[in-house]
Amino acid sequence: MKDVAARAGVGLKTVSRVVNEEPGVTPDTAARVQAAIDALGFRRNDSARLLRTRRTASVGLVLEDLADPFYAALSRAVEDVARSHGALLFTGSSAEDPRREQELVLAFCARRVDGLVVVPAGEDHRYLLPEIAAGVATVFVDRPAGRLDADVVLTDNAGGTREGVAHLIAHGHRRIGFIGDQPGIHTAGERLRGYREAMAAAGLAVRPEWYAMGPTTPERVEAALDAMLNGTEPVTALFAGNNRVTVTAVRVLAARPDPVALVGFDDFELADVLDPAITVVAQDAPGIGRVAAQQLFRRLDGIAAEEATRTELPVRLIERGSGEIPPAR
């Protein structure tokens, strides 16, 4: 601004008036200042303002994979809430690697983000204690933090899976398979629990070859499903533990002559136009992102309760056809 003032031959106050569109400057002077600004390429720098407020008006979002539709929808919702509070968003994908999660979180903190929204990959988040003590608001989403008492926004994973598996049982199935994500992942464990509880509630035993937990790569899901369908007591229905599993299951089942019932956790695009259309337990990805971001800004504004909160969002069973197929004779 000093350079602009010198070039235009005016005082600093005049430059400030022009930049902030305040009155008291003649059109001629304003034009001279504007020409100096254009010539010098005046650039806004938020550092000073942000130093004064001790805020950086930025939020760090760490999730598993930005390219996964579930997290993409969640991210957009966090962005929209951040934007309504005038904050910018850092994003990063942990790729389910605890070391990479910590690296990203601490890198965001080193840039002095005001707050964090984290889909945790690791099991111990005590590394965040100094950051939280220093005032970084932190909300976990999709899975709770490990060994740390912090706000968390979850889906009712066990309850949703119970409902989906009970739906298959109500349609006559007794041999039901479950394919889930890696057992260390909170949501995967909770959904497996829901599966076991629904089977137990109906008095059905679960054979070890009927459930498989692991990476959700197409190869792994295909192999697990093949084993369930071709064993001595083949399953007549499958509960798919997330949208990655469902998509591969749809491909595998489409190539088989005999129909197998399918209910998937997570809704996905075009589930309704497949043949059969896919019955799902839908969770609210934008809702989870929105509720988490809103809680973050309540903390930042000092209007949240001191205790950590736990919010569990309900799911919705959407019947479309694949979950209502009766068992093959």
**Look-up of token digits 């919702």:** 77
CA angle 275, 235, 212 (to 5 degrees): 100
Would you count residue 268 as binding its own copies (CB under 8 A)?
Answer: yes
Sign of CA dihedral 166, 227, 70, 96: positive
Q: How many residues does the chain have?
A: 329
Place of tokens 């959904």: 191
Q: How far apart are CA 164 and CA 317, in angstroms?
A: 7
Phi, psi of 18 (to 5 degrees): -65, -45
Is 101 one of the binding residues for its own copies (CB under 8 A)?
A: no
Question: Does 275 sit near its own copies (CB under 8 A)?
Answer: yes
Strand 137-141 with 115-118, pairing: parallel
Return the number of the residue (133 or 303) whose C-beta is nearest its own copies: 133
Check binding of 55 to its own copies (CB under 8 A).
Answer: no
Question: Is residue 99 near its own copies by the rule CB under 8 A?
Answer: no
* Binding map of its own copies across residues 199-238, x = CB under 8 A, - = no contact: ----------------------------------------
Q: Please count the other Cβ atoms lying within 10 Å of the Cβ belonging to residue 90.
A: 15
Binding residue for its own copies, selected from 6, 12, 31, 88, defined by CB under 8 A: 88
- How many residues contact its own copies, by CB under 8 A? 51
Q: What is the CA radius of gyration of the chain?
A: 26
Whether residue 292 contacts residue 78, with contact meaning beta carbons closer than 8 Å, is answered with: yes
Q: Is 48 among the residues that bind its own copies (CB under 8 A)?
A: no
Q: Which amino acid is at 204?
A: L
Q: Closest approach of Cβ 221 to its own copies, in Å?
A: 14
- Establish if 68 lies at the interface with its own copies (CB under 8 A): yes
Site for its own copies in 23-42 (CB under 8 A): 41-42
User: Which range, of 144-152, 178-186, 249-257, 291-299, touches its own copies by CB under 8 A?
Assistant: 249-257
Burial 126-161 (b: 16+ CB within 10 A, else e): eebeebbeeebbbbbbbbbbbebebbbbbbbbbbbb
CB-side neighbour CA atoms (13 Å) of 261: 30
Is 69 a binder of its own copies (CB under 8 A)? yes
Nearer to its own copies by C-beta: 64 or 190? 64
Answer for which of 2, 20, 273, 302 binds its own copies (CB under 8 A) is 273
Widest CA span in the chain: 92
The single residue among 18, 32, 33, 75 that binds its own copies, judged by CB under 8 A, is 75
Residue 108 lies near its own copies (rule: CB under 8 A) = yes
110 near its own copies (CB under 8 A): yes
Region 114-133 residues binding its own copies, contact defined as CB under 8 A: 129-131, 133
Q: By the criterion CB under 8 A, which residues form the site for its own copies?
A: 41-47, 56, 58, 65-69, 72-73, 75-76, 79, 83, 88-93, 104, 106-112, 129-131, 133-134, 247, 250-251, 254, 268-270, 272-275, 286
